A and B are shown apart, each in its own frame.
Chain A
Amino acid sequence: MTAITAPGLAGPATAARPRIGREWTLALPLAAFFAVFFVTPLLLLVAVSLYADAEMTRFGLDQYIRFFGDAFNLAVLGSTLLLGVKVTALTLLFGYPLAWLYTRSGPRMQSALILVIILPLLTSVVVRTFAWIVILGRDGIVNNLLLSLGLAETPLRLLYTEGGLVAALVQVQMPLMVLPLITTLSRLDPNLLDASAALGAGPWRGFLKVTLPLSLPGIVAGCLLTYAAAVTAFITQSLVGGGQMLFMPQYIYQQTITLHNWPFAAAISIVFMVSVLGVVMLFNLLGRASKGYVHA
């Protein structure tokens, strides 16, 4: 095909080179935007975190020493990262069957399902979170149901508990898991499953040996999105988790807005960002390993 585009030029190789050069410049506006509005603030954040005192008069690593010197801070970081793991695991557990059901349904059922999956994205996180306050409250739907069925004698405390928060986050972040899963599962060749069945594999064996490994890229992508969204979900964490459960986003807010301790807030932000990046890289490594596994 390259021969057709070549008239007047020395050859396909030289024709391709300048074109790559020009296409590259198309990314420049976005790159400039990122440099001004993302990289610069990020560098400023690092700079602020290197002030030794809240009044920002001298430099030093004091904020980082303060953070790592107190077991309480590490517990907050740990509980935030763990919250993300719990939410991601549950979202995967509930999201996978939904995505699988989608790929197995007829076109009419598919449009209904995609509407159900997308619908939460069309309302704001604040609205979805408030719905959970109504569901989990003392006079809420869950408690009324438990009381009327006689399963509980007094209303249970569901709101402002970690269990309630995990449930709310799983629902709020569900589309982020299901959509990548649907993409991967839809691309899966159904003949592969038929072949494995024909060769004597039962449904579970077929799933574990064929479907699951081939959908790993979707699982990794979904987990990445869900995890990053869950650990940083400031609104849901504070409205459903309450005021005494401290996670990193609220901790940063508290230090910045209430206490004006910008250097410490910046240091916590950097530590949090690096930790989340670490977890994300772990997911990515898993993803890469899974590719090797699939092609092997």
Chain B
Amino acid sequence: MTLDRRQILAAGLTLGAMSLFPGMSWAQARKLVFATFTGSWEEAHRDVIVPHFRKATGNADIALDPMLSVDMIAKVSAAKANPPIDVMLMDPGPRLSVIGQDLAAPFPVADSKNYQDLLPVAQLPEGPGIFFQAVGITYNPEKVKTPPTSWDDLWKPEYKGRVGITNMNSTLGTAFMVELAKTRGGGENDIEPAFAALKELQPNLGAVAPNPGALATLFQQGQIDISPGNFNAIQILRARGVPVEFAKPKTGTIAFLTTAHITKNSPNAKLAAALIESAMAPEVQTKLMQAPFYVIPTNSKVQMDGDIARMIAKDQEELKASFVFHDWSVINQNRAGWIERFNKEIKV
């Protein structure tokens, strides 16, 4: 057989294309892809959930692909028949989109060892809750001498220009507004009191951050001293030596359940279920609760201790009593209008 220039070129191009798109040649046998969250979440999941999963499945191949929930939805809905992700993590708002767009397969509850040990609020057959996130008041203890106890403290005149919030693009920003409405006679269906309260807050507002990550860095820069904040974001700053503390408002800590879902049409559905099983296991959740991860557990068998016991809840009873959950099915319906209004009305 003789090779001419054209054949060599064609072979070269094919090889190049195969290395660019490896999926073309090995579509059926791929690793389990676990889409986790970015930053410290990825570290926590890589260090604790993945080893447990590999031990349970005889060293099954797994890859972590960290991104936001909304990006997972975008990727999976763009390739529904052959999704690039096997396990998705969802915040409560995006979770409803996943269920509404029929992107997730139900979790095999009947075969599960750990499912019935989850707190009732986390027992969701569409995809169980594997950890909680908590939103309370974040403050700089060097500047704010009396620890805040209520959301109303943000309105104190002494914090003029020192309060930070995020806009409503983030779950944090939207949940803060809903909670504000709730403490002032409104709720998921009546956001009016929150916008009225925000108008009164304007003299105190030092910054409206574009996202929760940017809000956290503002503490580091001394731009703000008090803000609504995510417990886990605060732990990262504390670990870096930034003076920040987390306080529970007396009306309750805003809580979101993060759920894990098996992607519909995943070629690795069995392994995906095994990964979620590992994420629910009490030994995994106990390890995740401790330093340096501080992930709030959903398994009722986990014994609370350390910072979580001190700052969030000393046991599951206190957790149930102090956590406030919002109705994201109502929030999702109204959110577009709220964001449009926030765009127009809130100027600093």
A residues near B, CB below 8 A?
72, 130, 133-134, 137-140, 157, 159-160, 238-239, 241-244, 246, 250-251, 253-254, 257-261
Least CB separation from A256: chain B residue: B74
B339 touches A138 (CB 8 A): no
Q: How far, in Å, is A232 (CB) from chain B's closest CB? A: 16
Most B CB within 10 A of own CB, among A251, A254, A258? A258
New A-B contacts (19) at CB < 8 Å, excluding given A139-B222, A251-B343, A258-B339: A72-B344, A130-B217, A157-B206, A159-B207, A159-B218, A159-B221, A159-B223, A238-B210, A238-B211, A242-B209, A243-B166, A243-B173, A243-B214, A244-B346, A246-B343, A254-B339, A257-B71, A257-B169, A261-B336
B167 touches A243 (CB 8 A): yes
Q: Which chain B residues (154-168) contact chain A, with CB distance < 8 Å? A: 161, 166-167
| Assembled-state Cα–Cα distance A106/B83 (Å) | 59
Q: How far, in Å, is B98 (CB) from chain A's closest CB? A: 12
Chain A residue contacts of B221, Cβ below 8 A: 133-134, 137-140, 159
Q: A242-B209, A243-B208, A250-B210 are in contact. Are A259 and B167 (CB under 8 A)?
A: no
Least CB separation from A155: chain B residue: B222
B161 touches A137 (CB 8 A): no
Indicate with 1 or 0, residue by residue over B334-348, a CB within 8 angstroms of chain A CB atoms.
011001000110111
| Assembled-state Cα–Cα distance A157/B222 (Å) | 12
Most A CB within 10 A of own CB, among B68, B173, B208, B336? B336
Least CB separation from A261: chain B residue: B336
Chain A residue contacts of B223, Cβ below 8 A: 137-139, 159
| Assembled-state Cα–Cα distance A254/B70 (Å) | 11
A243 touches B217 (CB 8 A): no
Q: How far, in Å, is A165 (CB) from chain B's closest CB? A: 12
Q: Which of A133, A140, A246, A254 contacts B217 (CB 8 A)?
A: A133
Q: B97 interface residue, CB < 8 Å from A? A: yes
Least CB separation from B101: chain A residue: A260
Least CB separation from B213: chain A residue: A239
Indicate with 1 or 0, residue by residue over B217-234, a CB within 8 angstroms of chain A CB atoms.
110011100000000000
| Assembled-state Cα–Cα distance A65/B214 (Å) | 34
Q: Which of A72, A134, A138, A241 contacts B343 (CB 8 A)?
A: A72
Least CB separation from B221: chain A residue: A137
Chain B residue contacts of A261, Cβ below 8 A: 336
For the complex of A and B, the 10 pairs showing the least CB-CB separation, nearest first, are A139-B222, A137-B221, A243-B167, A244-B208, A238-B210, A243-B210, A243-B208, A138-B223, A258-B169, A259-B336
| Assembled-state Cα–Cα distance A257/B70 (Å) | 6
Can you list 5 pairs linking A and B with CB atoms under 8 Å apart? A159-B223, A243-B210, A243-B211, A243-B214, A260-B70
Q: How far, in Å, is B70 (CB) from chain A's closest CB? A: 5
